Amino acid sequence: MDCGVVIVGAGQAGFQTALSLRNEGYAGKIALIDDEGRVPYARPPLSKAYLKGTATAESLEYRPAEFFVQQAIDLVLDNPAVALDREKRTVALRSGRELEWSSLVLATGAHVRRLPSTGPEPFYLRTFADSDGLRNHLAGADSLLAIGCGFIGLEAAAAARAQGKRVRVIGAEGRLMGRAVSPFISAWFQAMHEKHGVEIRLNTAVRRVSESSAELPDGTTLAADAVVVGIGVIPNTALAAAAGLAISAGILTDSWLKTSDPAIFAVGDCAAHPNVYAGGLARIESVQNAADHARAVAATIAGKPKEYHQVPWFWTEQFEAKLQIAGLAVETDETEVRGDPDSGKFSVYNYKDGKLKFVESVNQPAAHIAARKLLEI
């Protein structure tokens, strides 16, 4: 008997799993569980348009609440899954409710990495409440200190600078977005931020923070009206680990996104999966990865087994630049720039041993789409 599908986590991956199950014609029971109290929403605007004040809370929602009722998706909010019983095939919620499943999908995402704090906590950016809190605080602030020179820190910096705040970015690495882009793009974005008046300090690992200060390795303290920290995330694997599922850099899966228990799948930020573009296991934090994992798993559960096999792609928006990255940034030995970087529209093609590895396009969406095709294995 089919007891239905329970999806733990109603973020990008969990929501898309439920949607794709119905799109694939799956007619069984679907329960979509989340520990946040909001209708499923998109996170990318939290450090971009929503923080800048140009998007509303409603515009972040993937679908209105009625959609879930119409699709017979049992949306259970503010009620975390606290335990899995793999023998009985049940999941227990904090409320005491127990749900049976034939297939279980873990889409638990990730939580922010924190810095040691010397007082009241600084802002972090993962949830709607985080972004809303920072947005409200920024309204009455003159300055922002962003710790972390990855996507989140830089997007928050650009959003605050666009509102006229004095902004400083402190990064531990030697270049901007160092894990995700080429040195050429790092340098171009640094020049753009500096042109907009953002002060950038690299190679500086902040030791401790508070809501209004950061302590540097040399013992000096920087102060600001608001401090936001974006130094990476940690996958939510505790539920899976407690149930005895194999864990590596995330919840371990095969290329069908099946965990070490074949009735349980893991998708999105929490899943460490074999990725042909990474040349091995990868845990990827992106909308593309979450949505495409979900589509593959939904097809498999609906009886059309689908292996995950997609070109990874990412984007970021900072000031006037939309950067789209196709492929995974790896070390390369040849860089070809097409277009004029001074015009703000160009692409960087990165090669290793004569083979195209990843392509970065600034304000060139057509080049990005073409690059995704070029990179297909």
Binding site for ligand FAD (CB under 6 A): 8-14, 33-36, 43-44, 46-47, 80-81, 107-110, 125-126, 152, 236, 239, 268-270, 285-288, 290, 314-316
Least Å distance between CB 123 and ligand FAD? Answer: 11
DSSP codes of every residue in 325-355: EES-----SEEEEEEEGGGTEEEEEEEETTE
197/232 with CB nearer ligand FAD:
232
Toward ligand FAD, which CB reaches closer, 13 or 145? 13
Alpha helices for 163-284 (secondary structure H): 183-195, 238-242
- Distance, in Å, from the CA atom of 257 to the CA atom of 270, rounded to the nearest integer, reads 11
357 token code pair: 């590895």
DSSP symbol at 102:
S
Instruction: Pick between residue 106 and residue 218 the one whose CB is nearest to ligand FAD.
Output: 106
Least distance (Å) from ligand FAD to the CB of residue 265? Answer: 12
Nearest approach in angstroms of CB 203 to ligand FAD is: 25
Q: Report the side by side order of strands in the sheet with 98-100.
A: 81-85, 90-93, 98-100
Q: How far is the CB of 220 from ligand FAD (least distance, A)?
A: 29
269 vs 292, which CB is nearer to ligand FAD?
269
* Interatomic CA distance for residues 83 and 87, integer angstroms: 12
Q: How far is the CB of 334 from ligand FAD (least distance, A)?
A: 26
Side chain identity at residue 29, one-letter code: K
- Tokens 């936001």 correspond to what residue? 228
Would you say 22 or 207 has its CB closer to ligand FAD?
22
Nearer to ligand FAD, 252 or 290 (CB): 290
Alpha-carbon distance 209 to 221, whole Å? Answer: 9
Here the tokens at position 33 are 């569980």
126 close to 112: Cβ distance less than 8 angstroms: yes
Q: Which residues pair with 99 in a beta bridge?
A: 91
Helix (H) or strand (E) holding 173: none
What H or E segment, with its residue span, contains residue 13?
helix 12-23
Specify the residue, 206 or 325, whose C-beta has the smaller distance to ligand FAD. Answer: 325
For residue 276, how many C-alpha atoms fall within 13 Å in the half-sphere facing its CB? 10
Minimum Å gap between C-beta 151 and ligand FAD is 6
Q: How far is the CB of 291 from ligand FAD (least distance, A)?
A: 8
